[in-house]
Amino acid sequence: MSLLEVNHVKKVYKTRMGGDEVTALKDVHFTVEKGEFVAIMGESGSGKTTLLNILAGLDSPTNGRVLIDGKDYTTLKDNDKAMFRRENLGFIFQDFNLLDNFSLEDNIKLPLVLGGENHAKMNDRVIPIAKTLGIDSILKKYPYEVSGGQKQRTAVARAIITRPHILLADEPTGALDSKSSTNLLKLLRKINKEGQTILMVTHSNVAASYADRVMFIRDGKVFNQIYRGDISREEMLDKICDSVSVLMRGDDESEQ
Ligand SMILES: Nc1ncnc2c1ncn2[C@@H]1O[C@H](COP(=O)(O)OP(=O)(O)O)[C@@H](O)[C@H]1O
Ligand SMILES: [Mg+2]
């Protein structure tokens, strides 16, 4: 059984009272195994965020199912869904969404607080993660007192503190300069090597080249997938660039 099964997911948005419909996803079908690092690419408007929101349980599919560990949690009641989400999923958002009035430590602990974890246990979890991420000496600081890179590490810590089965990231490098991006991507790769399953939406070829598999979404479907296998990151990047240019060529043809 795969860790994540996305079964023929379709998403139609109804805009304005019974007006136009937008088919964001037509028929998305794929599986992710435990320990994989998968990047999802596609043009702007191809449905990447829609897909991630459905996987995150923040939106529901019009058709199809999403199974995590064999369980279709999209049909759970709100409270159960929230609990399932907390226990199984971690999120990294594009702008990190740290709470300004909370210290870094409290930001990291937030998912545990929401999960009703006791204080001693929380500290047992925060310290080792903060050490791994190199932010253990600044835990008492507030987001406005630290650098962008430190904020980003805090967001990663918060996303993995619950030991989620899957880490979901939507354009995590979108707002970062290239040095911070590289650091974040190396960090994701390190966490992945330690066993964390990661699904990352990105429009950056370079960011995607850190993954083991890159999935391209087009016309509401999985259009193409590239597996890294034994090749280097640089070779993976070349392959991704080739696929992206094929995608673009497809566009030219359809416009003629
Ligand atoms: N809440 C919504 N209501 C109506 N249309 C939406 C909504 N969210 C997204 N869309 C439409 O669905 C399509 C896919 O959007 P999105 O998933 O944000 O794409 P991406 O993240 O790949 O840029 C777009 O055409 C977008 O306008
Ligand atoms: Mg998006």
43 Cα–ligand 1 center, Å: 11
Residue 27 or residue 115, greater confidence: 27
CB 24 near ligand 1, within 6 Å: yes
- In the sheet that 89-92 helps form, which strands lie side by side, from edge to edge? 71-72, 63-68, 4-14, 21-32, 221-227, 213-218, 37-41, 197-201, 166-170, 89-92
Longest dimension (CA), the chain: 64
pLDDT of residue 138: 97
Rounded to whole angstroms, how far apart are CA atoms 7 and 243? 24
**46 CB under 6 A from ligand 1?**
yes
Whether the Cβ atoms of residue 201 and residue 48 lie closer than 8 Å to each other: yes
For the chain, strand residue ranges (E) read 4-14, 21-32, 37-41, 63-68, 71-72, 89-92, 166-170, 197-201, 213-218, 221-227
Please tell me the predicted confidence (pLDDT) of residue 255. Answer: 44
Over the stretch 212-233, which tens digit does the pLDDT of each residue have? 999 999 989 999 999 999 999 9
Q: What was the pLDDT predicted at 50?
A: 94
Q: Which residues contact 18 (CB under 8 A, 6 or more apart)?
A: none
Per-residue tokens: 44 = 């702007």
| Mutational test site, ligand 1, from 20, 50, 171, 217, max ligand atoms within 8 Å of CB | 50
In the predicted structure, residue 121 carries a pLDDT above the cut 60: yes
> Closest-lying ligand to the alpha carbon of 172?
2
- Ligand 1 centroid to Cα of residue 45, in Å, is 6
Report which of 66, 46, 57, 91 is spatially closest to residue 3, judged by C-alpha positions: 66
CA 128 / ligand 1 centre spacing (Å):
38
pLDDT of 197 above 80:
yes
Q: Would you state the pLDDT for residue 39? A: 97
50 lines ligand 1 (CB under 6 A): yes
pLDDT in tens, 39-48: 999 998 999 9
CB of 13 closer than 6 A to ligand 1? yes
Question: Which pLDDT score, from 0 to 100, does residue 250 have?
Answer: 64
pLDDT at res. 119: 84
How many angstroms separate the CA atoms of 55 and 65, rounded?
10
Nearest C-alpha neighbor of 38 from the set 216, 245, 247: 216
Ligand 1 centroid distance, CA of 218 (Å): 13
For residue 107, pLDDT over 70 is answered with yes
Burial string for 6-33 (b: 16+ CB within 10 Å, else e) reads bbebebeeeeeeeeeeeebbbebebebe
- Answer yes or no: is the C-beta of 52 below 6 A from any ligand 1 atom: no
Lookup: tokens for 138: 């600044």
pLDDT of 122 > 70? The answer is: yes
pLDDT > 70: percent of the chain: 97
- Residue 253 scores a pLDDT above 70: no
Most confident of 32-41, 50-59, 74-83: 32-41
CA of 172 to the centre of ligand 2 (A): 11
Pairing of strands 166-170, 89-92: parallel
Q: How far apart are CA 120 and CA 109, in angstroms?
A: 12
CB 44 less than 6 A from any atom of ligand 1: yes
Which ligand sits closest to the CA of 171? 2
pTM above 0.85, yes or no: yes
Q: What is the mean pLDDT of residues 98-126?
A: 90
| Tokens standing for residue 174 | 């979108």
Tell me which of 256 and 142 has the higher pLDDT. Answer: 142
Cβ(58) to ligand 1 under 6 A? no
- Rounded distance between C-alpha atoms, residue 255 and residue 99, angstroms: 45
Ligand 1 atom closest to the Cα of residue 47 is 17
Q: Residue 4 CB: number of other CB atoms within 10 A? A: 21
